[in-house]
Amino acid sequence: MRVILDCDPGIDDTYAIIFLTAAAQAGLIELDCVTTTSGNAPADQCARNAAWVLGLCGLPIIPLAAGVPEPLEVDLTTTPETHGDTGLGYATAPERHVEHDWDALWIDSIARGTDDLHLIVTGPLTSLAAFAHTHPEHFAKLKHITVMGGAVHYPGNTTPSAEWNFWVDPHAAADVFALTPTPITLCSLGVTEKMVLKPEALAELVDRLGGSPVAEHLEAITRFYFEFHQDVGEGYQAQIHDLLTVLIALDLVDYQSTETTVAVEADSELMRGTSVADLRGIWEREPNACLVTEADVEAAWERFGWACDVHAKVAAGDAEIEELRHLRADD
């Protein structure tokens, strides 16, 4: 299986990168490239963050580029109050040059075949929508797309009805669901909010990361997110949406889903970014989404623990990673 990650790190996106790099190091996946979208922070800043995290996770060589810098029609809003000024909580990635050839990276990856290629989007859908408009022939070839976004018939986290990724670029979200020829696996807030991390569990995970360079920074990155969730009344803990999304995309946790038609409201001020699913088939349209309705969150945290073990072994130069390869949802 090959993966393109389009993300906006972002604290929970960082957990997604930690998992994917472990899976790549253990030979479970090939991480074709990482691209970034503007959301939690501007796309260039997110690319710096991603580059740093990839390096801390031992894979600085993964092709990386920043995607489309601004939403399709609305002004960019970022969220320093949620993810910190840098996008990585209390941590700061070093300055570096950022490439912008994101669509060339996607096209190269698509040219290698799409039967086993998974595009996972854990930020706003700006780049994916732009890709659908400017490269429709390549977009049409994508067979496996998984998206974190939307609050489908569920309270939003940005407005009463909208989730952040869809709210930041509602036109992009609307376009992607209108244009996709293949149902998109949609991990929306009602499911991803259940992927909760508490300080004690974080301490254990940092311990499991052992001598991996990422271990040194994960607490500073995450503490900001704990504080944000406490400030908004969720308690001193954090929802790690994007990690669960990656695990569902890779079919590494059990989950339930339903095929349906999803649409996103883009133009109304009140309902901006609101997503709906036609669960009764009233629109009589082809399904464009595979809406995830439940997921095994406990198993997801076990998988992440495995990823921490892989990073610890890589850092220790331990060649027994082969033993860790056999990871399936039914293990």
**What is the contact surface with ligand BDR in residues (CB under 6 A)?**
10, 12-13, 40, 79, 82, 122, 148, 157, 163-165, 241-242
User: Alpha helices of 169-320 — where are they, by DSSP H?
Assistant: 170-179, 189-192, 199-208, 215-231, 241-249, 297-315
Q: Provide, rounded to whole angstroms, the least separation between the CB of residue 225 and Ca ion.
A: 12
Instruction: Determine which residue in the list 109, 122, 158, 239 makes contact with Ca ion, applying CB under 5 A.
Output: 122
Answer yes or no whether residue 45 interacts with Ca ion by CB under 5 A: no
Within 8 A by CB and 6+ apart from 25, the residues are 58, 59, 310, 311, 314, 321
Secondary structure (3-state) at 50: helix
The single residue among 4, 6, 13, 152 that binds Ca ion, judged by CB under 5 A, is 13
Q: Which is nearer to ligand BDR, 195 or 308 (CB)?
A: 195
Tokens of 248: 């569902």
Least separation in angstroms between residue 166's CB and ligand BDR is 8
Question: Which residue number, 218 or 312, has a Cβ lying nearer to Ca ion?
Answer: 218
Element of type H or E holding 126? helix 126-134
Longest CA–CA separation in the chain, Å: 57
Q: Which residue carries 């060339």 as its tokens?
A: 104
Measured from the CB of residue 149, what is the shortest distance to Ca ion in angstroms?
9
10 sits near Ca ion (criterion: CB under 5 A): yes
Q: Which of 210, 238, 235 is nearest to 14 (CA)?
A: 238
Instruction: Give the integer Cα–Cα distance in Å for 161 and 155.
Output: 5
Q: Which is nearer to Ca ion, 122 or 275 (CB)?
A: 122
Contact status: 149 vs Ca ion (CB under 5 A): no
Q: Does 123 bind Ca ion (CB under 5 A)?
A: yes
53 binds, among ligand BDR, Ca ion, none (CB under 5 to 8 A by kind): none
C-beta separation of 62 from 54 below 8 A: yes
- Draw the binding track, 212-251, toward Ca ion (x: CB under 5 A; -: no contact): ------------------------------x---------
Q: How far is the CB of 248 from ligand BDR (least distance, A)?
A: 13
> What DSSP assignment string belongs to 176-204?
HHHH-SSPEEEE-HHHHTT-EE-HHHHHH
For Ca ion, the binding residues (CB under 5 A) are 8, 10, 13, 122-123, 242
